[in-house]
Structure 1
Amino acid sequence: MPARPLIAAGALAAALLAPLAARAQTSAPQTSAPQVVAVLPLHVAARDTVLAPLGFALADFLSTDLARSQRLTLVERARLGAILRELALAASGLVDSATAPRAGRLLQARTLITGALTRRVDGEIVFDARLTDAPTGRVTSGLSGRASLANVLDAEKSLVFRLFEQLGVQLTPRERALIEERPTRNLSALLAYGQGVQAEVNGQYAAASRAFRRAAAADPGFRQALSRADAARAQAVRASGTALDRVNKPLELTPSTLRPGLAVDPSLGGSQQAEITITITTP
């Protein structure tokens, strides 16, 4: 009678556990990478100088509120401003099916949130927002609403919760509580904050810092404005330092750069290197 093959204990255990492991893997919740989202400034008609900073402020608050969810990753503000300036969209934030794919690639964002603010004759503010799939330029949904200027932040909260629904994001109770907080209820502070965001998007960091500080002065409890003022000032210092590094780079005068007959300043002592220093003072 032929001998029956022996099965090693380890192999036998693996054979018995394999179906269980397969079922556990199938039933385990699937985790996906966070969606990358960019919120562009809300477009406002050029003639409405009061609403213009409000469009920047509300877009900034939308970005802050959307970032409360761990399911979403928001494009950093500094990167957003740099790309918008490159695309000449800093002033309007307007993105259509033609510009969306390039904007999405540069921002490395799958979804672009754009919108507009208009003011009716009776003073009521009308919101229009939409989600655009960046690779295709296809508008996946549109949202609208309206509110008085005094209640504009309440409308922003309503809008952000609807955006979460459209993005398929379920919020935890803690995330929802954080989103429902109002950073300020002072309209003057809100408008000054919007001016700061607008200046920041345009790369004017010193002006942004001053505007954020005006917002904090109008509402001392507006902690977000004060932190943004400090961040903008630090960015202004870094930007001026980079400019100084470029300006103060030694100028090498080599024979290839000197034209025949070019006179050399005797005060240089015959040296072919000159250094120019310019000091820039920022507030």
Structure 2
Amino acid sequence: MIYTVTFNPSLDYIVSVPDFTLGLTNRTSHEMILPGGKGINVSMVLKNLGVDNTALGFIAGFTGEKVRQELEKLGIKNAFIQLDDGFTRINVKLASTEGTEINGIGPTISKSHQEKLLQQLDTLKKGDALILAGSIPQSLDDDIYSNILERLKEKDITIVVDATKELLVKVLKYHPFLVKPNVFELGEIFDTEIKTKAEIAHYAKELQKLGARNVLVSMAGDGALLLEETGAILTAKAPEGTLVNSVGSGDSMVAGFLSGWFKKKDLRHAFSMGVAAGSASAFSQYLATEEEILAMNEIVKGKVEEGYENSRLN
């Protein structure tokens, strides 16, 4: 079984606002309210690809209950822990204004509730997979991910981490199967601005030296780079298309990669599926369907190359 953990889930209010202008009343042309959070996005795309999984994490208040209800409508298993106080955050995503979001803070998670999650994770067994994805509420220490992996280190579990800064760096000593920073996040870890693919490869290798087994770096319109455990490098240019909504494209990449990996246990196929899923979601109104992802993979798999050209990023 694949398990996703989302410490800070949300209700995402996704709106299109043509000609958005600061200081004026803006009206939407299209809007959706959907469950969100990186781990939940991974769960939804995995489900779209026919991969059974269970969503874990914390919910609170009426917004948290809405998240649960929406996932159940989609047929996604969940075992969320209900918090006593506060409410699951609401995130506003301006789909028509690239990268513009207003994200809520999230509720306080007590030590006793954290322990309940750890007890859930204690039940994972050999062959299971665990995806730790996204930010954490301010009430948690930035070693929560590493605490989880310390607890699970004797289990034969496939671990994937999609997080930033110290959340990611602190887990590397536990040798996660896959980490997936984007270019900005990779540069942030090493306090540098990455401008070329050679620099991406260099800093991906630095993450590998710290313990990561496979490093998948998303490069937005430039595609993606995979540094394999063997040291081999794969790259793929992004397919051509019109960006409709960048929300969840990185999470879709993680889901596509895992779907491909568990189907064939082949990193090239997993990489192609990851890039296809990320691109398909970016070109869709919301998270891509299986049909969209498989169609995109027919394009992407022909773009996968070994090594990389030392070119500048767009």
Give the shorter-chain TM-score range: under 0.3
More helix by share: 1
Q: Which structure: larger Rg?
A: 1
More strand by share: 2
TM-score under structure 2 normalisation? 0.24
TM-score under structure 1 normalisation? 0.26
